[in-house]
Structure 1
Amino acid sequence: MRTAMAALVAAVAVGGCTVQAPQGDGKGPVRIELPEDSSALSASPRADDGKPGAAPTKAAPEVLLAPGDRGRDVRELQARLRQVAWIFEGPTGTYDEATEEAVKGFQGKRGLPRTGETDTVTWRRLLRMTHEPGRWELYLMGGQPAAAPDPRCLTGRVLCISKSSRTLRWMVDGRTVTTAAVRFGSEYTPTREGVFRVYWKSRHHVSTLYDSPMPYAMFFSGGQAVHYSADFAARGYGGASHGCVNVRDEAVIAELFQEVRDGDKVVVYW
């Protein structure tokens, strides 16, 4: 039965030593002991024909994470895979096809079954080869926990955008519907702070000033808009906008573009 790593893989026994792993719930480490060899033989007293002395059979290692899973544990897996050059983007926190292929590659290189799922044997091998990722490694491509919403975001329909956590919340009547990682303008072209309104939406917009695409643009202050950025998706925080609020997840911004209406509030705060 699959178990969340935040609860299961807080400490792994390796060669008699205990390796600490971070916790996602902030409650401190939970100590568990995995078998020294999770593929250890599970002896059966009888063969299928009922005769004693049957050869033992191998128990399948427990699956910890698998394609489709999301969350902080997936983010740690991706960060560790990035350390050993099996994945080159993210972490994103979503166990997607790229993560599955990276796990398969890591497993095949070490003679493990290429399942693409992260089981106890795969996880232990990865732990031995990597260090515990810090906050920057975990959130290298964005997606850090969203800051508490500004009080001005708690009523109505609001794009609530925090510069400190570099996140956007789409909120309706005080309830967070969607969150997304965002980046802002540079020191020389800063994103304005304050309370604004969406005054124009342009699905296939191209900047006339910079001759650059701004898909799913939702303008809120002059030429500044919330929009998808392929550059942000590829480079993360290695770049900056010209004042716009860049979103790196195209699926998220496409959904937001459908939901947000002209006149909806935009709050940009630190």
Structure 2
Amino acid sequence: MANGDETDLVRELQARLRQLKLMTSAPTGFYGSKTTAAVKTFQSQHGLGATGTVDEATWRKIQELSRKPTDEELRPPTTNEVAAPDPRCMQGRVLCISKESRTLAWMIDGKVVSSMDVRFGSENTPTREGLFQVEWKAKDWTSTIYHTPMPYSMFFSQGQAVHYSADFAARGYAGASHGCVNVRDKVKLSALFDQVKVGDKVVVYW
């Protein structure tokens, strides 16, 4: 396993690293910078080459010192820990969206006002990354392409929007969006929708 991988085995690795107190964020299944750093720390602690990549020896040692994760450990119901903000999020009013931690942080002048879990598009319909702005908003909206409800939509890139997803609320990360940023906490998103203005920044990053 290495940086950039996205598999169920990576999810198990992350859950085991949480047991060993080397990761605090919930497993995402994506092997990014936090996982790399945790693996390097583990390797250093146990006399293994600190490459940040999981080879056979590293995986054996991790398995030896941890137990098989439960379903709840693999997909915990708790809110994901907010990632370190992208530098572009540090000024003004920003929806700061991290793909690695699967979080949206509503930030004003570098301070997190609120945060929530999110999920993204699949490989076939990926959520675009970059710097955008809220182009328009719709409290009650139904997708013209997929004919699914998209309450509290805040559109930022050619039809991609931040919106509430009943499917995400029901199935969690077992599913994916068609490219939008799905939110599962309707109450939090409703409050956010009232605060965000057209023209506010949107940053989507790993």
Normalised to the residue count of structure 2, the TM-score between the two structures is 0.65
- 2:161 maps to 225
Larger radius of gyration: 1
Matching of residue 263 in structure 1 with residue 192 in structure 2:
no
Of the three residues 149, 158, 182, the one matched with 1:246 is 182
Of the three residues 169, 186, 204, the one matched with 2:105 is 169
Task: Answer yes or no: is the 8 Å Cα contact 1:154–1:173 preserved in 2.
Answer: yes
- 1:214 maps to 150
C-alpha offsets along residues 136-165 of structure 1, whole Å, 9 cap, x if unaligned?
Answer: 627534622111000000000000000000
- 1:157 maps to 93
Question: Which ranges of structure 1 fall in alignment gaps of 5 or more residues?
Answer: 1-21, 28-71, 76-130
- 1:148 maps to 84
Distance of aligned partners of 1:155 and 1:136 in 2 relative to their CA distance in 1, 3 Å threshold: farther
C-alpha offsets along residues 40-72 of structure 1, whole Å, 9 cap, x if unaligned?
Answer: xxxxxxxxxxxxxxxxxxxxxxxxxxxxxxxx9
Matching of residue 196 in structure 1 with residue 136 in structure 2:
no
Distance of aligned partners of 1:138 and 1:187 in 2 relative to their CA distance in 1, 3 Å threshold: closer
Distance of aligned partners of 1:153 and 1:208 in 2 relative to their CA distance in 1, 3 Å threshold: same
Counting helix residues as a fraction of each chain, which structure ranks higher? 2
Q: What residue identity is the alignment partner of 1:244?
A: C
Distance 2:118 2:196 in 1: 17
Distance 1:142 1:210 in 2: 29
Q: What residue identity is the alignment partner of 2:184?
A: R
Distance of aligned partners of 1:228 and 1:142 in 2 relative to their CA distance in 1, 3 Å threshold: farther
Task: Answer yes or no: is the 8 Å Cα contact 1:142–1:181 preserved in 2.
Answer: no
SS at match of 1:213: coil
Q: What residue identity is the alignment partner of 1:190?
A: P
Normalised to the residue count of structure 1, the TM-score between the two structures is 0.50
Matching of residue 180 in structure 1 with residue 106 in structure 2:
no
Task: Answer yes or no: is the 8 Å Cα contact 1:159–1:168 preserved in 2.
Answer: yes
Q: What residue identity is the alignment partner of 2:169?
A: A
Alpha-carbon deviation of 1:134?
A: 6.6
Matching of residue 137 in structure 1 with residue 76 in structure 2:
no
Question: Which ranges of structure 2 fall in alignment gaps of 5 or more residues?
Answer: 1-17, 27-66
Distance 2:95 2:89 in 1: 8
Distance 1:260 1:150 in 2: 19
Task: Answer yes or no: is the 8 Å Cα contact 1:141–1:237 preserved in 2.
Answer: no
Distance 1:174 1:164 in 2: 19
Q: What residue identity is the alignment partner of 1:210?
A: Y
Distance 2:81 2:71 in 1: 11
Distance 2:114 2:71 in 1: 22
Task: Answer yes or no: is the 8 Å Cα contact 1:168–1:181 preserved in 2.
Answer: yes
Distance of aligned partners of 1:141 and 1:263 in 2 relative to their CA distance in 1, 3 Å threshold: same
